[in-house]
Amino acid sequence: GGPDQDIGAMFDEYCRLFYGPAAPEMKAFFAYCEANWREMEKEKEKADRCLELFGAAMAKVDAGSIHGSRLALIDEFLKGLRNKSEQLGKKRGPVPVTRLVGDARDIVVDGNLDDAYWRNCPVAATGKLRELQTGRQPIFGTSFQAGWAGNNVYFAIRCEERPGEALNLGTEKDDDAALWYGDAIEILLETDSHSYYQIAVGPNGAVVDMDWQGKKRDLGWDSQAEAATRIADDHWTLEIRIPVTQDENDPLHQVIGRKPTQSLPWHLNICRQRIRDDGAEYSALSPTATAGFHEPMKFAYFYDGRSHSFEADPTVTDFLIESRAAAELLRQRKAPEALNGFLALSERDRATDFQKSDALEQAAQCARLLKDPVRAEEIASRIPIESVAKTVRMLNALDQRQTKDAVATFGTEDIGAWPFWQRGAAWFARGRIFSAEGDGPRAESDLTNALEFVNEPRLRLELQLAIAQNRERNLKDATGALKAYREMVESTGQNGSSTYFYGVLGAARLLRESGKFDDAIATVGRVDAEKLRGTWRGQFHLAAAEVRAAAGKKEEAIAAYQAILADDLVEEIHKKAAAAALELLK
């Protein structure tokens, strides 16, 4: 013993005595693992080489011998590495990540979602579903939370609904495929050792579960999940506990796997279908960019541990990835490149009519930005879904100020009979047309009808602005206009946009004109003008000065106008307005 001990000799003796005929192979195995254990976490080739070396050792021993039993213990331990190697061999593109945090203890599965864990669920373990084929925000949103306790994974899911509308129940019985004729939530789980499981639940709690092996499905598998639902006027909820076991001896019961980790994550998709006579909407945590849910390589990462960014294979592409790239070009104001990108999307192999319509709708927007009305109209003519094509033609008419012709063409269209997922955009477009023509009542009807079907924050804010302006300009309804402007002011998430600024200034103006000066000053103050640049800086400083002047606060108003004149960042047009106002105050 002591510092003079020959470690190499000790290791040789250990391998010879413990592994017998497999001693040379086990020495090579251990040496390789020691040198490459970090790389085996990321490089499939090195993980496979490790397993190959161990396989060579296993081949040298009798499975029933003492040496074979010792190697069997390591063989069991290496299941995790085999699973890791299999995961490393799959080329997965960019997908969402859901991370388990904390212990989801004391959850009572009753559908109420009022347990302490759900009320304080970490943000990392929550998410929202997106439209399945395009990744857009769905008309009827779905949010979820995830948790783990003991050997159980929990999900709490809330499905938004149209108030007062009956849900579509496909069946009342478990294991009845008729469930898919109605509304449903599907949970698709690929564990560290099995791909994959499917558990579907209807709003009434009916469950259908099956085990998928490649393209085959086993209806005999029973998840033994505990599920409970609650139906309210404007939503329904699902709470579910899914037991998990590491025991592979009973493959027909429960989910088989170990608690997911960063090193060996699970892959998950949570999907929703909403089926109605007037249309269907499909959404998912990780949109598949196809017409179906069963795309395992699009499942999201699901694991317990610290925040981590999983590397995506840059060679993987699909409709969704390419659509995001085109949208980013548009955001960067590269309209010609974005136009080409969306047109290419519309011609993509296996693109559905829904995807083609979405891509061409955005291509037409690019053409309008490029002041090319002929191209925009030609693109509209290629849209395969009629309701989308008509909406785009209305937007084209608005852009060209051909609103009178648009009223003649679309004024009597029964938009309420269109697919529910297109009504919001169509009513919004036609409402703006009516407003441009001075037809306040019909504009009010269309624009308020659209509110129910527009929930994307940016578009909803634009819709509220259109309602406010129509009430103010056409209906001469200052009270109603102020109500709409104030709803914009109280909104969150878009309070740095130009649309939001219009809403704040509109509310402040009407408050000032009605003599509510303190409210007007407070409203203008919702935006810090000192942080603004360009035209908005001058407009907000002017608005603040005008309120003070109207309130009779002459000295404050003069100081505000003088500050505008001294501000090098205020545009000349606003300085001239401030100078003119100063003359009137003197």
Averaged pLDDT for residues 36-50: 82
Residues of the chain with pLDDT > 70, as a percent, come to 99
Of residues 425 and 214, the one with the higher pLDDT is 425
Q: What is the pLDDT of residue 383?
A: 99
Taking only the tens place, the pLDDT of each residue in 160-204 is 999 999 999 999 999 999 999 999 999 999 998 888 999 999 999
Averaged pLDDT of the chain: 95
- Encode 460-475: b = buried (16+ Cβ within 10 Å), e = exposed: bbbbbbbbbbbbbebe
Say which DSSP state 261 is in: B
- The residue assigned the tokens 């999900």 is 155
In this predicted structure, the answer to whether residue 1 has a pLDDT above a threshold of 60 is no
Tokens of 447: 């624009």
pLDDT value of residue 2 = 67
**pLDDT category, 50, cuts 50, 70, 90?**
confident
Section 308-328 average pLDDT: 95
431 contact partners, CB below 8 Å, separation of at least 6 = 442, 443, 444, 445, 446, 447, 449, 450, 466, 470
For helices 66-77 and 7-19, the axis angle rounded to 10 degrees is: 110
When pLDDT is cut at 50, 70 and 90, the band that residue 306 belongs to is: very high
pLDDT, tens digit, 9 for 90 and up, residues 319-336: 999 999 999 999 999 999
Residue 514 confidence (pLDDT) above 60: yes
pLDDT of amino acid 217: 84
Residue showing tokens 């005595």: 17
CA proximity to 408, closest of 438, 430, 381: 430
User: Residue ranges of the domains in the chain?
Assistant: 7-88, 97-304
pLDDT of residue 89: 74
Name 284's Cβ contacts closer than 8 Å, sequence gap at least 6: 129, 130, 132, 269, 270, 271, 272, 293
Is 395's pLDDT higher than 70?
yes
Whether the upstream peptide bond of residue 196 has omega within 30° of 0, thus cis, is: yes
Q: What is the CATH number of domain 97-304?
A: 2.60.40.1190
Task: Give percent of the chain above pLDDT 90.
Answer: 84
What letter represents residue 20's amino acid? G
Pick 413 or 81 by higher pLDDT: 413
Most confident of 32-46, 73-87, 302-316: 302-316
Q: Is the pLDDT assigned to residue 156 strictly greater than 90?
A: yes
Answer yes or no: is pLDDT of 33 > 90: no
The length of the chain in residues reads 586
Q: How do residues 549-572 score in pLDDT, each as one tens digit? A: 999 999 999 999 999 999 999 999
Q: What is the DSSP string of 51-72?
A: HHHHHHHHTTS-TTSHHHHHHH
Q: What is the pLDDT of residues 199-233, one digit of tens each?
A: 999 999 999 999 998 677 888 999 999 999 999 99
